[in-house]
Structure 1
Amino acid sequence: MSTIIEKSLRQAPAASSDRKASSEKTSAFSFSQARTLIGDLNRPNAKIYWFDFLTSVSVAHLCAAALIDGVRRAFDAGGLPNSPLAIAGGVFCCGIAVILYMRAAMFIHELVHLPKEGFGAFRIAYNALFGCLFLVPSFLYYPHVDHHRRKHYGTKHDGEYLPLSHTSRWVIVGFIVQALIIPFLAIARFLIISPLCWLFPGARPYVHRHASTMLVDPSYERTDASPRVMRMVILQEAGCFVVTFLLVFGHRIFLGEWFDPAWIAIYAISLGVLTLNGVRTLGAHRWTHEGEEMSFQDQLLDSVNYPHCPWISELWGPTGTRYHALHHLFPRLPYHNLAKAHRRLVEGLPDDSPYHQTIAPSLTSEIIALWNRAGRRVVDAVSAAKPG
């Protein structure tokens, strides 16, 4: 996948001035005015975090267990279920599990921005009840802070950005299709690579830089960690190793059989979560820049808010991720206050404020716009390459 992306990036056309037009047509964004409007919403409510996470992950675990039990019963009976009711029940359990596991997974994003004081137990609960079980321990997301540094955003120092508006449409397709192999890469990372790093510490620096981060840009290199952070990494790796070992060998150890039908259910749920998150990520930004350092206002205009149809957008963009532009504006604003903060900004900022341009009607419309931009860029590149 990284080869495809890197090849397309090398073939991308040069940056043009049209992507700056939107920022030139608006007044300058007033950060102080925006902060005045929402300054009282910065305190996270721990009770909301605990209730939301525990409810989401508990119901998701129940649905996943029901799905696994149904798949195992079907295989014990000789094959796939042929009852319409059993099929409908399986699809329902899988769908609910995907939506709620997606919600639980997004708390890894909140952990980066929450204050260290008062949320230590919540960090442990995330990793114990979800992070290690689904091989997304919190250490994978520590470099997310680079995505919020003004001088890093959209550059080679930002692992969560690619100039998708200037690449082939195949890169966009590949961005979603890679969900098919990510579960296997995660298993290899914690079942094979982690023990190798424990046995051969010299391999740790390379693994930490290149295979220890949730990212969008495969060329991103993570910076070295402090001894304290590395202790947390190894501890979380150990939890993930136990999970992957039991996943791969548990059925053989306890029942004497290599194939576990539960793998089908687990893979289906994982694929659903990864695909949904991939689609969400495509709509989080407009991906219009090509590696140059951006102004704060350009970064704001490159990010998107989806305030409409919350009963739908909250399913694919849970825990405030549907307010991605607002999050870039105030990264420490707790997710449960983002909707209220957005309403205040829309009502309180002047009509020509750039903030209003961050609002999109739907995720579908933004992904279609991204698809069209990518297509136009490739056509322009081919036209520019023709002689005369």
Structure 2
Amino acid sequence: MTFESKTIAPAETGFMLAGASARTAAPVRKAVKKSNDDKAMLKAAAQLTRDLNRPDARIFWADMLGSVLLGYLGLAATILVGPMALKLVFGAMATLALYRAGSFIHEISHIKRGDLPYFRLAWNALVGVPLFAPSFMYEGVHNQHHAKTKFGTIEDPEYLPLASMKPWSLPLFMLFGTLAPVLLLFRFAVLAPLSFFSRRLRRQVVEKYSGLQINPDFRRAWPEGEFARQFTYQEVGSVIWSWLLIGSVASGVVPLSAFVTFMVVACALMGLNQLRTLVAHLWENDERQPVSVTEQYLDSVNVPPPNLLSALWAPVGLRYHALHHLLPGVPYHNLGKAHARLSSELEAGSAYHRTTATGLWPLVANLARQTLKSR
């Protein structure tokens, strides 16, 4: 959902590159001149990964369906078991598994039409609609985050100068992301139905409240063609699901405690995703100007092995976030191979090695320090 705080100070991307601990690199704009891409890195990335661009349907389906099964079993156990300790254990399992299943929305936004037949439909039915985040909320939005002329600018839906914002902006950022399921339930149960009878409200709902974005100034384009049909089908499905859920609770068919548990798990997984987003970039492009491909890469972060926990808080390839910005067409299950090839091919002085971080909390602490400097 949109993040409404806009107190922007000088120096926008405050998530410094992490080496042995937390990275202490200069701001992205100073690291690489706009006219000076690391051509060796870009050439190697293109040449060494040509065979890695096709998604493996078996991996996608098995991973997504397995995550869904584990997530809903964990959710059911969380609702049904009595002891609080067991509720916490199963709740954590449900959160992590459904978070992984939900993260496939990112892959869906990059999948070429025809590569994975019916995957989008199945994902929306099993994950997107039930969790109030159908894929239309990301498709047509996320691609602008990768556009060379829009990354980091006011037209980028997924970029804010967090490093130069006030310290209190970070907790507020986390709060909005964590409460996203509540806001999205209201969007589908109330705003969407009302907007069908008001052109003015409909425009507001489509342009401002139909994207999983953090930039409050971003306005999505009106859907057209086949995507407009997908938009409508998914939105209507989400409206119906929202009404059924609320009606079932109001009528007593679904216990209030079960609904609250479901919403807590949904908020927990969205909060985890917001925490991952917090450290996905350096957020230092305070001038909101277009940058080079290398600068875009250096503003992003990889947390690869040997860090194993990153596979939990940045699943489905998201721990290779910088590499994904370099190679957005490579599916998540091949990013590890691409990383290994580039790491061994490129010398130590290459820009490629400067985006590697060792863990989550050093990155959070570093971003917090950056905001304190902007006071």
User: Residue 47 of structure 2: which of 28, 36, 45 is its match?
Assistant: 36
- The runs of 4+ residues in structure 1 deviating greater than 4 Å are 1-4, 14-19
1:382 aligns with none
Note the C-alpha offset of 1:50.
Answer: 0.1
- Aligned pairs for 1:220-299 within 5 A: 220-253=218-251, 255=253, 260-290=256-286, 291-299=288-296
Q: Deviations over 1:5-39 (max 9, x none)?
A: 12x12xx1267995433226x98243122211222
Structure 2 partner of 1:209: 207
Amino acid across the alignment from 1:91: L
Check whether the contact 2:29–2:285 (CA below 8 A) recurs between aligned residues: no
Q: 1:266 to 1:15 in 2, by over 3 A?
A: closer
2:60 to 29, 34, 49: 49
> In the aligned structure 2, how far is the partner of 1:15 from the partner of 1:92?
38
Match of 2:343 in 1: 346
Matching residue within 14, 32, 36 for 1:23: 32
SS at structure 2 position matched to 1:304:
coil
Q: 1:120 aligns to what SS in structure 2?
A: coil
The equivalent of 2:297 in structure 1 is 300
> Taking structure 1 as reference, are residues 361 and 310 closer, same or farther at Cα in structure 2, changes over 3 Å only?
closer
- 1:272-320 residue CA offsets vs partner (Å, 9 max, x unmatched): 1011111100111011111111111111110000113443110000000
Q: Distance in 1 between matches of 2:333 and 2:37?
A: 29
Q: CA deviation at 1:206?
A: 2.5
| Equivalent AA in structure 2 for residue 287 of structure 1 | W
Describe the shift of the 1:4–1:48 C-alpha distance in structure 2 as closer, same or farther (beyond 3 A): closer
Of residues 52, 70, 78, the one that matches 1:67 is 78
Q: Quick check: 1:280–1:316 contact (8 Å CA) kept in 2?
A: yes
Listed one character per residue, the Cα deviations across residues 222-242 of structure 1 (whole Å, up to 9, x for unaligned) are 112104322211111111112
Instruction: Tell me the percent identity.
Output: 34
Match of 1:170 in 2: 168
Contact 1:34 1:349 in 2 (8 A): no
State the secondary structure of the residue aligned to 1:5: coil
Change (3 A) 1:169 1:272: same
Cα deviation, residue 246, structure 1: 1.9
Is structure 2 residue 371 aligned with structure 1 residue 360?
no
Larger radius of gyration: 1
Instruction: Find the counterpart in structure 2 of residue 112 from structure 1.
Output: 109
Distance 2:126 2:4 in 1: 35
Distance 1:3 1:263 in 2: 26
Q: TM-score, length-normalised on structure 2? A: 0.90
Task: Pick closer, same or farther for the CA change 1:338–1:187 going to 2, 3 Å.
Answer: same
Q: How does 1:173-184 map to 2 (within 5 A)?
A: 173-184=171-182
Root-mean-square deviation over aligned CA pairs: 2.1
Cα 1:102–1:336 shift into 2, 3 Å: same
Q: Distance in 1 between matches of 2:306 and 2:110?
A: 26
* Structure 1 counterpart of 2:92: 95
Question: Which 10-residue stretch deviates more, 104-113 or 343-352?
Answer: 343-352
Q: Which has the higher contact order (CA 8 A, sep 6+)?
A: 2
| Greater Cα offset, 103-112 or 245-254 | 245-254
Q: How do 1:178-197 residues align onto structure 2 when only pairs under 5 Å count?
A: 178-197=176-195
User: Shift of the alpha carbon at 1:87?
Assistant: 1.6
SS of equivalent to 2:370: helix
- Give 3-state SS (helix, strand or coil) of 1:261's partner: helix
Change in CA separation of 1:29 and 1:166 when aligned onto 2, cut-off 3 Å: farther
1:377 paired residue number: 374
TM-score normalised by L of structure 1: 0.87
| Contact preservation (8 Å) 1:2, 1:218 | yes
Q: Measured at CA, do residues 236 and 27 of structure 1 come closer, stay the same or move farther in structure 2, by a change above 3 Å? A: closer
CA distance in 1, matches of 2:204, 2:232: 15
The structural deviation recorded for 1:104 is 0.6
Unmatched 5+ stretches in structure 1? 71-80, 379-388
Change (3 A) 1:65 1:231: same
CA spacing shift, 1:131–1:335, aligned 2, 3 Å: same
Could you list the per-position Cα deviations for residues 248-287 of structure 1 after superposition, in whole angstroms to 9, with x for gaps in the alignment?
Answer: 11133354x9x61112211220121011111100111011
Match runs of 1:312-351 below 5 Å: 312-351=309-348
Mapped to 2, the partners of 1:165 and 1:154 lie a distance apart of 13
* Matches of 2:246 and 2:325, distance apart in 1: 39
Q: Distance in 2 between matches of 1:207 and 1:4?
A: 16
- CA deviations 1:181-211 (Å, max 9, x no partner) are 3222111110111112223345323221111
Residue pairs, 1:125-204, within 5 angstroms: 125-142=122-139, 143-204=141-202
Query: Aligned partners of 1:330 and 1:19: how far apart in 2?
Result: 19
How far apart are 1:179 and its partner, in Å? 3.6
Specify every segment of 5 or more residues in structure 2 that has no aligned partner in the other structure, as ranges: 14-25
**Aligned with 2:210: secondary structure?**
coil
> Number of residue pairs matched?
358
| Higher share of residues assigned helix | 1
CA distance in 1, matches of 2:128, 2:3: 28
CA contact (8 A) 1:139 1:233 kept: yes
